Amino acid sequence: MFPDLSVIIVNWNVRERLRACLRSLARAGGALAMEVIVVDSASADGSVAMLRAEFPAVRLIACQRNVGFSAGNNLGLAEARAEHILCLNPDTEIVGAALPSLLQYLRAHDDVGLVAPQLISPDGRVQSTRYRFPTLASALCDGTIVEHWFPHNRWLRRYHYADANEGVVQNVDWLIGACLLLRRQAIPPGGFDEQFFMYSEETDLCKRMKDAGWRVVYFPAAQVVHHHSQSSDQVVPLRHVRFQSSRVRYFRKHHGWPAAQLLRAFILLSYDLLLLEESAKWLAGHKRPLRR
């Protein structure tokens, strides 16, 4: 008998968060027949031993190296048996009846390929998780000197759906990949693009799904606590490099080489300008920690 839901969690060195996540799944599952698959990317913090000792029912895929988010999810997808698959970050905790609500919505709407909940911080604040597909204008603003100088510019506001109520169900372009419920039939050939080691993989997945005619839906009636970037925060400089590298790769794939090269050149210029600004402040006596 196939389960109602397959849950895939890709873990890297966040043992305590993973433990809390799995406990929340056990509480939130209710009457759902659920299988949980954890793909561990060569964690060095005892995650594998903890899983084997405390969660023997979890199906563990223990990798010998850090395979990244995309490849890790694809390993889980290859093992998943359900028609509905939840890709879940280990730094999340399910709130209330979020899982049955998401699953009920997906089953009731045959044209929806992906649905995601509202992500909230531990203090209850709603996180920004809905986005339009990046254009060259929005990409030149996001995480660059333009955002630093003009954080509320119209291109970023549009990119972040500032014109849409975050409290209502709505079609969107793409959603943050911390908690995504997928219809197996809608998953593009090859699953996640493994050229994206980390970042932009969910943007690419949603783009391919929407290009194939599926809807991507934000469903705020379901909520999930997201502790936010617990794995990537362990190596902050590398996070910035991977974020921008993946963004350039996305543009090369979906917008062509010239747009990708223009974006890459502007990102490098932006970092140079930020460094000059910080250096000028330091020389002027306004010493403060460099931006994270």
273 vs 255 pLDDT, higher one: 255
What is the CATH architecture assignment of 5-230?
Alpha-Beta Complex (3.90)
The model's pTM is 0.90
Instruction: Please give the average per-residue pLDDT across 254-265, as a whole number.
Output: 96
Would you put residue 184 in left (φ > 0), alpha (ψ -120 to 50) or beta?
Answer: alpha
Q: What's the mean per-residue pLDDT of the chain?
A: 92
Residue with token string 């359900």:
82
**Has residue 230 got a pLDDT over 60?**
no
pLDDT band at 292 (very low <50, low <70, confident <90, very high): very low
Instruction: Give the span between the Cα atoms of 159 and 99, in whole angstroms.
Output: 28
The domain locations on the chain are: 5-230
Residue 244, token pair as written in the block: 């921008």
CA atoms of 79 and 229, how far apart (whole Å): 26
Q: Which two tokens stand for residue 46?
A: 């005892």
Among candidate residues 110, 83, 92, the one with its CA nearest the CA of residue 21: 92
- pLDDT tens digits, 128-179: 999 999 999 999 998 888 888 888 899 999 999 999 999 999 999 999 999 9
Residue 272: per-residue pLDDT: 79
Instruction: Give the confidence band of 276 by pLDDT, cuts at 50, 70, 90.
Output: confident
Q: 219 and 102 in contact (C-beta within 8 Å)?
A: yes
What average pLDDT does range 273-280 have in this prediction? 76
Higher pLDDT, 24 or 278: 24
